Amino acid sequence: MPLPHVPYAPSKAAIAGHTIHRLLASFPVACFTLALATDIAYWRTSNLMWLEFSAWLLLAGITVGVAAALFGAIYFLVRFGIRAVRFGWPAALGTLVVLILAFFNNLAHAVDGWTAVMPWGLTLSALTVLAMLVTLWLGASFAYGPALGVRNHV
Amino acid sequence: MSDRFRLQRASALTGTCLLALALAGCTDSDTGFDISSQIGPDPVLPEPSTELMPDLKVAEVVGWKDGQTPKVPQGLTVTLYAKDLVSPRMVRTLPNGDVLVVQSRAPEGKPLPRPKDVIRQWVMAMAKGDTGGPQKESNLITLLRDTNRDGTVDERHDLLKGLNSPFGVVWHEGTLYVAAADAILAYPYRLGETAIAAAPKMLAPLPGGPINHHWTKDLALSPDGRFLYASVGSNSNAAERGLEAEKGRAAIWQVDRATGMSRLYASGLRNPNGLTFHPETGVLWTVVNERDELGPNLVPDYLTSVQENGFYGWPWSYFGNHVDERVHPPRPEMVQKAIKPDYALSSHVAALGLTFSMNASLPEQYRRGAFIGQHGSWNRNAFNGYNVVYVPFENGRPAGKAQEVVTGFLEGDQARGRPVGVTIDGTGALLIADDAGNAVWRVAASGPVPPSQ
């Protein structure tokens, strides 16, 4: 028996929540991308200033990134229920991979000098950015996919 | 859809692998290593290990309760010489038998350029029991006088206060030289006086702040009395603050006592302390703290004679020509030049104090060697150091294994005290400055000893 159609009720809380999530999630995107850039700068110049930049960018990225992931998880569970979780989980998994890579990258960048970046720091920075691109692509493809925006439909 | 599924599975697998890697990185892989193989002229040096999370284990300081003392072997006895000091780091005996105790704290305001610096400073402060409350006044020099030479202090006077993190101290010909964190100061002082009112003259500046990472500056007087030698530690672990920050550092300076003219005497010594001339050969010796975060068994701290214009490797290499890959760009010609030090003391012991036994009135086996105060490790999971060791000497060179002489500073994972500077007092006994225990300990022969030859 088909369920009765319930019209989507826009709520200000939802808009606010979505805005906060987008805002938080933009930090790791910018920080991890810039950390790759500063790692490359250190690799090319041996100037330790770039290593210091990388270390702070990675710390800022993972701190706000974890906050964004927790906020996102709770918000989307509460707001959209189990359906959103079903369709959102590749992106969620991608986020987890990004954060795990960033965690190890933070540790790698705590080494004193060249071996903080060469070869593992730079490799992890590149993998983090790659994983981030894949995650964003997955998220975008679901947003424009056929399943989203169709509610209460069996 | 199947592509997506594969991607998800791949990413899940990556996550799991990374977690497994992390756990593997946390296990202690050094359990089989014999640390005594790193004591002596030819230490065993394992390959550097790149730990994801460097070991950081500092003993919580609990202090000494009444009646508790360090432990000494048969034939020696240990007594409390002075207590209620505030972070005593250095003890020096004046020619009249008075003992100076230099008490000091690290200078404040060191810039912290990376997240790890901030986190580590916080962890270390916690371990020192520094809860941010008001601290007792340190940075002073106290005179201890044993008038009747019975091994107990009869008089105590604060000679100088409000100094800038002093460490080394030398007296010669009516002048007391104090090595503060940024300069050698000269105070007019006649032996026996119990106060210094006169303002000092600055004999020579030394590399100081704002970083001043290894800030303790030790002093020694050349046997002919013409020169002072001042040790200056590096501004970093392995040059991670850049070479510009290391100008004039990781070095021993020679300073003309009459004019203050200074020149680099030896370099490449990461954190030298305990400058002492060998009483028979007149050769300058020092103990050096080597670098961290290459694993629990790298790099051994060492005891070495100091050659004029000698270069000992830091930061580019350790223990001769073992390259430290962290320092970039590499400098093979500097590595080539590096002198291998004389005698390894094993890794992370933090050797800070050195005195020759000067034919002291100690049992025969301790009369011709060096006592070394070892402050104790933080960069390994099993503690090392936290003791005073004796290295026997023959013909002015180390001959034989270092032996533990004073122990008991550690109790489980807690520290009652941590030894730093050592000296021989006017009665021929060994004195030890204990900065964490806020005490000076005296180690003497437990019975009468035959007179020295």
Q: Which two tokens stand for residue B266?
A: 């030896």
Q: Which two tokens stand for residue B67?
A: 């009646």
Q: Do B237 and A115 touch (CB under 8 A)?
A: no
User: CB-based contact (8 Å) between B23 and chain A?
Assistant: no
Domain count along chain A: 1
Nearest to B152 by CA among B222, B80, B211, B228: B80
What is the C-alpha separation between B211 and B63, in angstroms, rounded? 29
Residue A9 pLDDT level (bands cut at 50, 70, 90): low
Which 3 state secondary structure label does DSSP give B287? strand
Nearest to B198 by CA among B189, B208, B209: B189
Give the nearest chain A residue to B53 (CA atoms): A107
B340: closest CA of chain A, how far (Å): 23
CA distance between the termini of chain A: 10
Cα B218 to Cα B240, B251, B353: the distances in Å are 24, 11, 10
What is the C-alpha separation between B14 and A100, in angstroms, rounded? 9
Cβ pairs A/B, distance under 8 A: 77
3-class DSSP string for B130-173: CCCCCCCCCCEEEEEECCCCCCCCCEEEEEECCCCCCCCEEEEC
Q: Tens digits of per-residue pLDDT, B365-395?
A: 999 999 999 999 999 999 999 999 999 999 9
A96, A110, A113 ranked by CB distance to B239: nearest: A113
Average pLDDT, chain B: 91
Give the nearest chain B residue to A58 (CA atoms): B115
Q: Tens digits of per-residue pLDDT, B91-128?
A: 999 999 999 999 999 999 999 999 999 998 888 877 66
Q: Tens digits of per-residue pLDDT, B144-165?
A: 999 999 999 999 999 999 999 9
CA B370 to chain centroid: 15
Question: Is A6 within a domain?
Answer: no
| CB-based contact B406:B418 (threshold 8 Å) | no
Question: Is A50 within a domain?
Answer: yes
Element at A19 (helix H, strand E): helix A12-45
Q: Do A46 and B11 touch (CB under 8 A)?
A: no
Chain A residues whose CB is inside 8 A of the B327 CB are 113-114
- Of A80-84, B235-239, B393-397, least confident by mean pLDDT is A80-84
User: CB-based contact (8 Å) between B53 and chain A?
Assistant: yes
What is the C-alpha separation between B415 and B401, in angstroms, rounded? 26
Exposed e or buried b per residue across A70-93, where buried means at least 16 C-beta atoms within 10 angstroms of its C-beta: ebbeebbeeeeeeebeeebebbbb
Number of residues that make up chain B: 453
Mean pLDDT along residues B230-257: 97
Mean pLDDT along residues B408-426: 96
Amino acid, res. B258: A
Q: Tens digits of per-residue pLDDT, B292-323?
A: 999 999 999 999 999 999 999 999 999 999 99
CA atoms within 13 A on the CB side of B343: 24
pLDDT of residue A151 exceeding 90: no
B114, B293, B326 ranked by CB distance to A114: nearest: B326
B19, B115, B326 ranked by CB distance to A113: nearest: B326
Mean pLDDT along residues B205-209: 96
Q: Which domain holds residue A110?
A: 19-144
Q: Do A107 and B53 touch (CB under 8 A)?
A: yes
Residue B20 pLDDT level (bands cut at 50, 70, 90): very low
Exposed e or buried b per residue across B401-424, where buried means at least 16 C-beta atoms within 10 angstroms of its C-beta: ebeebbebbbeeeebbbbbbbbbb
Residue B355 DSSP label: E
Q: Tens digits of per-residue pLDDT, A15-50?
A: 787 888 889 999 999 999 999 999 999 999 999 999
As to burial, measured by CB atoms within 10 angstroms (0-12 exposed, 13-18 middle, 19+ buried), residue B306 is: buried
pLDDT value for B188:
98
Is ipTM beyond 0.85?
yes
Question: Is A153 within a domain?
Answer: no
Rg (CA), chain A: 19
pLDDT of residue B15 exceeding 90: no
A4: closest CA of chain B, how far (Å): 30
pLDDT value for B24:
39
pLDDT value for B452:
57
Residue A154 pLDDT level (bands cut at 50, 70, 90): very low
User: CB-based contact (8 Å) between B4 and chain A?
Assistant: yes
Q: Do B326 and A100 touch (CB under 8 A)?
A: no
> Which of A39, A42, A46, A48 has the most B C-beta neighbours within 10 Å, making it the best mutation to test the interface with B?
A48
Question: Is A11 within a domain?
Answer: no
User: CB-based contact (8 Å) between A147 and chain B?
Assistant: no
Question: Is A71 within a domain?
Answer: yes
Amino acid, res. B110: K
Q: Which two tokens stand for residue B363?
A: 């049992």
Residue B58 pLDDT level (bands cut at 50, 70, 90): confident
Amino acid, res. A86: R
Question: Is A1 within a domain?
Answer: no
Question: Is A149 within a domain?
Answer: no
Question: Is A10 within a domain?
Answer: no
DSSP letters of B213-245?
SS----EEE-TTSSEEEEEE--SSSSSTT-GGG
B270: closest CA of chain A, how far (Å): 15
Chain A residues whose CB is inside 8 A of the B329 CB are 46
